[in-house]
Amino acid sequence: MVYGIIHRSREADIVVWDGQNYPRLPMSDHSFFFAESVRAVIECKSTWSRRELGDVLSKSKAVRDILPVYQPTIVDDLQHAFLQLEALRRGVESDGFLAANPHISTAAVFIDGGRSFSAKNLTRSMIEEADDSWPDLLLLLEPGRLVVKKYSPDGAGQLWFYELGDDALLGFTGELLARLWERSVQTERFYFDIYGLDLDEVEPASIIEFPLLRFQPFRTPLWRAPTEYENREQPHNGESDAAPLEP
């Protein structure tokens, strides 16, 4: 199980976590993982059914409700340093940035069944609650179908349905590694897509949009507004004034 300050997950089949920097606590009936250490939670099912899908959705929501307490990492420190350099280059003051980190990723794998399930089988409640309940990755191994939850730059949530056949497990692996990389502090990146399957080059069978219920990951620089004195016209010695900075 994954434990946060307030919420905890339900029982999880697989937990991907940072074992180098965080401990785990072996309990009498389960292992205790701290939310800050967990990168992904994966549910594995032997056979597809509506009941098992409902179990996956409820477990994904339990993980989504966990709010880890994040502290600045070396990535944040570097971004702050770059921002200060940009402020010096532009001749303005910076107040750092606002940031929201990615949620704990969730995934589910069904070994057998699910041939008849497609985008048209989604109920209205499934679509309305997809941001909270739908796993980031859903693999139906037997029919070779992969469903990927994405967030577009304009703020729309989408479920992309791919018919990949024998390449479905490869596509799932690549997408899972990409999400682990986004949630980890790495010195080097593994470009798995150049060895395997790049889903950006695959046309999805269908795309279903869903409403957003939570904030999405972002990093927004904060530029300090000029003071009244700085806004006044100042005398200069033949030097050209700096161009105004758009926030």
Q: Tell me: the pLDDT tens digits for 32-69?
A: 999 999 999 999 999 999 999 999 999 999 999 998 88
Q: How far is CA 98 from CA 77, 79, 105, 189, 226, in A?
A: 13, 11, 21, 25, 19
Q: Pick from 97, 75, 121, 61: which is nearest to 219 by CA? A: 97
Question: What is the per-residue pLDDT for 187?
Answer: 66
pLDDT at 99 over 50: yes
What confidence category does residue 94 fall into, taking pLDDT thresholds of 50, 70 and 90?
confident
pLDDT at 246 over 70: no
pLDDT at 233 over 60: no
pLDDT at 247 over 60: no
Amino acid found at 15: V
What confidence category does residue 196 fall into, taking pLDDT thresholds of 50, 70 and 90?
confident
Task: Identify any residues that bridge with 218 across adjacent strands, giving them in sequence order.
Answer: 100
Q: Pick from 200, 219, 209: which is nearest to 156 by CA? A: 209
CA angle 123, 2, 47 (to 5 degrees): 45
pTM across the whole model: 0.82
Q: Pick from 157, 164, 167: which is nearest to 207 by CA? A: 157
Mean pLDDT, the chain, rounded, equals 87
What confidence category does residue 120 fall into, taking pLDDT thresholds of 50, 70 and 90?
very high
Q: How far apart are CA 225 and CA 37, in angstroms?
A: 38
pLDDT, mean of residues 86-112: 88
Question: What is the per-residue pLDDT for 107?
Answer: 98
Percent of the chain with pLDDT over 90: 56
pLDDT, mean of residues 18-26: 90
Q: How many CB atoms lie within 10 A of CB 96?
A: 13
